[in-house]
Amino acid sequence: MRVIPPTELDVLVVGAGFSGLYSLHRLRTLGRSVHLVEADDDLGGVWYRNRYPGARCDIESVDYCYSFDDSIVQDWTWAERYPAQPEILRYINFVADRLELRSGISFDTRVDAMHWDADAFVWLVTTDRGDTIRARHVIMASGQLSKPQLPDIEGIEQFAGELLHTGDWPRDGVQLTGKRVGVIGTGSSGVQTIPQVAKLAAHTTVLQRTAHYAIPARNHDLDPAYVQDLKSRFQDYREIARHHPGGTHRHIGTESALDVDPGALEETFHGHWEKGGPDILAAYRDFRTNEEAAEKAGDFVKERIREIVKDPETAEKLCPKGYPFGAKRLVLEIDYYTTFNRDDVSLVDVKADPIERIEGNDVVLASGARHELDVLITATGFDALTGPLFAIDIVGVDGQRLPDAWKDGPRTFLGIGTHGFPNLYVVAGAGSPSVISNVLISIEQHVEWITTFIDHQFRNGIVSAEVDDDAQDRWTQEVYDIAAPTLFMKGNSWYLGANIPGKPRVFSLYLGGVGHYRDICDKVAADDYAGFTLTRGEIKP
C-alpha cells in the first residue's frame, strides 16, 4: 500500500535513485522531518527503468557505489568489474533495506507542481495522487538522464509492432526471440543492447545516424582477493577519488600526444585497448582540447574497427566521422563490433539515407527502402539535465517559471541553486560535475553539502536561502568558459542539448574538476554560504 506523504515537511525529496535515497537517509539522521516521493512503483531511478538487455554501468562497480556507511561497504560484494543493471538494482535495494528507507517513500507518486509561497517560505507541492505538501525545502533528486526522448520521426507512435525505448524498458521484459528487431541509436545504450538483441532476434537491423567511438570494456568477474583488499582500505581509496578531477583513480597524462613518437603512442593506445575502460581519454593532456591530438586516438580506434569487422563497407560505416574522439561520451563495448560479423545483423546508414517515416511495421527511408520490423527499439537518449526538472511546473519568486529562467540554458550557483527559486536544490545536475564525473562521488558530495546547509538553516532560524543573481552570473559564466575550449563543443551530443529540437546549445556541466569543485563548495559554506541571501524569520504556521 502507498505510504501517504505528510502534509507538512522540513524537506521533500523528489526521486528514489542514488541521490534521493542518500538525501532521505542523511536528513533522517540529522533529525529533520523528511519524505521522498517517487513516480515509479519501486526504487532505483534510472537503474529501475533501464532494464534493456545489456544495460550496464560504464564506471567500475567498486567506484560506482556509496561510501558514507562503511558497514555497507563491508557487507556488499560486487561481482563484476562493470556492474550490469540487475546487480546495481540489487545493491540499491540492499542499501534501502539496510537503512529502512522504504517507510519514508511514497511510490507511484509524481510531483506535478511546486509553487513557492513567499509569505510562508514554503514550497506548495502537488502530486498526481492528489497530495498537497507544504515543504520548507525541496531537493530535486530526479536524475540527469531520466526523461527518455523518442526520435522525432513521422508515424513513430503508430508503429504497428512493439515500440520500446531503452530508458523506459517494460518491467516484465520483452520477448525478442525469433523477431525482426530494429534499433535506432548507437550511443551507450544502443551499443550495449545491440549484441544482446542480436543473440535473440531472427534479424537485427541497426539504423545508425552517427557512429560513436567505442572501446572494449573488458568486463570480467572481480577477483575476491582484489575486492577484499579494496574493502580493507576503502575509505582511503575513496578519499583519493574525492579529490581527483574526475572522481576516479585515472592517471592523467601530462604529455601532449603530439610530442610523443608514433611507436610510443601506439604502445600506449594498445595498452588501453587491452586493459579496457575509458582511461584512454586521459592518456595525454591535450585529448580534451586539441583535435589533432585527439584524432591520434580516433585513428587508432578506427584501425581496430577495420581489423575486427570483416565486411569493409560495414567497417567503414562503423568508423566515426565528423567529430573528434572524446567529443561525445566514449562508449564501452562488449562484443559490439564483432556483432556486425553475424549474418543476421545488418547496418543501415540513416545519415546517408534518412528515416522518413514509420508506416505500419515498416521503417521507410528517404530512398524508398523499407525495413519491416516486429520490434523497434529506440536507444535515442534523453532530454538530459533540464528535462526532468521542466516536466514539473516549478514556479518561484514573482511567479517565475524555471523554463523561463533557464530559457538560454541552465543558470545556477554551483549547480545547486537558482536565483528566484529559494530553498530548492538540485543534486548533481547542470552547473556541477554531475555525469561528467564518477557521478556517485558527485552525488555524495552534493547530498552532504546540501543537507548540511539545510540543517544549518534550521539551527540558525533561517527560513529561506536564495542564490544571489551576481553569484549565479559568475558561476554560470565560469562553467561556460571552462567548457568553451574543449572538444565537447564539437560533439553534437546530449551534453550540449543537441539531441533535443529547440534546446539551447550550451555545455552546462562543470569541467573544472571534482576535487576543485568540492573545495569551492566547502569555501562557500565556510564563508557563511556566501553567494546565497539567507533570510531569518519567524516561521508562520
Q: Which stretch binds ligand NA7 (CB under 6 A): 67-75, 259-267, 378-386, 402-410?
A: 378-386
* 185 belongs to the binding site for ligand NA7 (CB under 6 A): yes
| Cell numbers for 298 | 580516433
Please report where in the chains the cell 575486492 appears, as a residue. 227
Q: How far apart are CA 277 and CA 80, in angstroms?
A: 13
Site for ligand NA7 in 325-344 (CB under 6 A): 329
Phi and psi at residue 130, in whole multiples of 5°? 85, 10
When the beta carbons of 123 and 169 are compared against ligand NA7, the nearer one is 169
Cα gap 75→212, rounded to integer Å: 38
What residue type is assigned to position 184 of the chain? I
443 binds ligand NA7 (CB under 6 A): no
283 forms part of the interface with ligand NA7 (CB under 6 A): no
Choice between 189 and 418, CB closer to ligand NA7? 189
Q: Which three cell numbers stand for residue 369?
A: 527502402
- What residues contact 504, with CB distance under 8 A and at least 6 apart? 407, 408, 409, 497
Residues contacting 385, CB < 8 A, separation 6+: 144, 410, 429, 430, 434, 508, 509
Burial of 404 per CB tally in 10 Å (0-12, 13-18, 19+): exposed
Q: In angstroms, give the least distance from the CB of 285 to ligand NA7.
A: 23
Q: Nearest distance from residue 540's CB to ligand NA7, in Å?
A: 43
Query: Of 180-188, 196-204, 241-249, 251-259, which segment contacts ligand NA7 by CB under 6 A?
Result: 180-188
Q: Contact between 18 and ligand NA7 (CB under 6 A)?
A: no
C-beta closer to ligand NA7: residue 209 or 401: 209
Segment interacting with ligand NA7 (CB under 6 A) among 11-19, 59-67, 128-136, 186-194: 186-194
Q: Which of 213, 337, 425, 494 binds ligand NA7 (CB under 6 A)?
A: 494
What is the contact mask toward ligand NA7 in residues 142 to 161, using x (rule: CB under 6 A)? ---x-----xxx--------
Element (H, E) at 311: none
For residue 333, the cross-strand partners are 216
| End-to-end Cα separation, the chain, in angstroms | 30
Q: State phi, psi for 16 to the nearest 5 degrees.
A: -105, 45
Query: Which CB atom, from 106 or from 188, has the smaller least distance to ligand NA7?
Result: 188
- Looking at 434, 451, 499, 508, which residue binds ligand NA7 (CB under 6 A)? 499
Based on CB atoms, which residue is closest to ligand NA7, 157 or 538? 157
Name the residues that contact ligand NA7, by CB under 6 A: 145, 151-153, 166, 184-190, 209-210, 329, 350, 355, 379-381, 435, 494, 499
